[in-house]
Amino acid sequence: MKRKIIKRETTFEDNSALKYLEDEKVLLDIDNDSHQHKHNDYQIVFVTKGKLKGFVGSNLGDYMCEDIVVIGKNVPHYFILDGKRSTETDDANEIEVLHFKHDLFPTKINEIAEFNFIQLLLKRSQQGLFFRDKTLFEKIRNMLYKIDDVNGIQKLIELYQILDTIGRNVNFNIISNEEYNSENSITTNVSSLQRTYNYLYAQFRNDITLAELSKYAHQNPTALCRTFKRETGKTIFQFLNKIRIENVCKLLLNTDMSISQIAYESGFPNLPHFNKQFKLITNKTPSDYRESIES
């Protein structure tokens, strides 16, 4: 079974503030339209199942079930599957997305006291925010379901209540150092870097060559290696080994597979090379690591 992200959206129509839509859209394939994009509306992403990696601005983050991600207008973003999941037959990852327009708010929102928390949330969202708060997640998700059950001005009131509740929560993390607006462009270097991340996480179990990766990233090999090292502090293949070892650790923790099977499943066909890389990254042998988990 092909792993996928099922995306369910609550969005707006021309003559209405919000309407619930259900759209099963696959966001895994590295050649589809899940790459970095931006749009002139706000977006709240609820991770309802599985694990994802997401770019918000130029920041790559890990997001898990019950996380809430708030993305401002014109902030570049996209989400991909977390390559560390251990099996290709897991149920689909799921996200629910709430879209809304800036036109839904008063022109002088910053001068209206009742909108203080909403205005602050919208401003902070221009750098991207994420909340890891189970109580908040459950409360907001229940509120979200009401939007499709009400009509007229009540639909807008429900949205205001959702945003006010999120805005009052202080347990948030700012995602990007940069505050985005309509003038920010999606630069070639960032796009190439993100395509490289996308490819590595999607293909880490397979044999990866620099030539194939460079072709996918739309950059010549020398420039791509230089850009990647500058942005991450690691070479492409050091980063690839890190992804593979992360998957190894997960399999050692959650399965009874043999170490050689795990190495092969994680993209290491050569066992001596695998052992060397594992020790280099974890300071333990695979056997010692598994024993430390079980003890």
Domain count, the chain: 2
Residues 209, 126 share a domain: no
Q: Are 83 and 202 in contact (CB under 8 A)?
A: yes
Question: Is pLDDT above 60 for 183?
Answer: yes
The answer to whether residue 95 is domain-embedded is yes
Supply the pLDDT for residue 86.
Answer: 41
> Does some domain include residue 164?
yes
Which of the listed residues 118, 147, 174 is the one where a domain comes to its end?
174
Half-sphere exposure of 104 (CA within 13 A, CB side): 25
Is 158 a domain residue?
yes
The Cα 228–Cα 193 span in angstroms is 6
Taking all residues of the chain, what is their mean pLDDT, rounded to a whole number? 83
Pair 125, 199 in one domain: no
What is the Cα–Cα distance from 250 to 25, expressed in whole angstroms?
Answer: 27
> Is there a single domain that holds both residue 84 and residue 162?
yes
Least confident span in 35-44, 150-159, 275-284: 35-44
Same domain, 136 and 206: no
Q: Which residue type sits at 264?
A: Y
Q: For position 31, what pLDDT does the model report?
A: 43
Residue 150 belongs to domain with CATH number: 2.60.120
Q: Both 195 and 137 in a single domain? A: no
- Domain identity same for 27 and 59: yes
- Give the confidence band of 88 by pLDDT, cuts at 50, 70, 90: very low
Query: Does residue 145 lie in a domain region?
Result: yes
The pair of structure tokens assigned to 276 is: 């060397």
Which residue in this structure is represented by tokens 């940069």?
178
**pLDDT over 80 (residue 27):** no
Domain boundary at 141, 174, 207, which? 174
Domain carrying residue 114 = 5-174
Instruction: Tell me the pLDDT band of 29, cut-offs 50, 70 and 90.
Output: very low
38, 75: one domain = yes
Which one has a higher pLDDT value, 225 or 87?
225
Q: What is the CATH number of the domain that holds 238?
A: 1.10.10.60
Q: Are residues 169 and 54 in the same domain?
A: yes
In a domain, 148, yes or no: yes
Domain end marker among 149, 174, 199: 174
Can you give the pLDDT at residue 30? 43
- CA dist list (Å): 236 to 39, 58, 207, 276: 30, 17, 13, 18
Read off the pLDDT of each residue in 241-258 and give the average, rounded to a whole number.
89
Q: Are residues 136 and 11 in the same domain?
A: yes
Q: What is the pTM of this model?
A: 0.66
Strand runs labelled E in the chain: 5-13, 16-22, 42-49, 51-56, 59-64, 67-71, 77-81, 93-100, 129-132, 172-174
Which percentage of the chain shows pLDDT scores above 70? 83
Q: Are residues 44 and 148 in the same domain?
A: yes
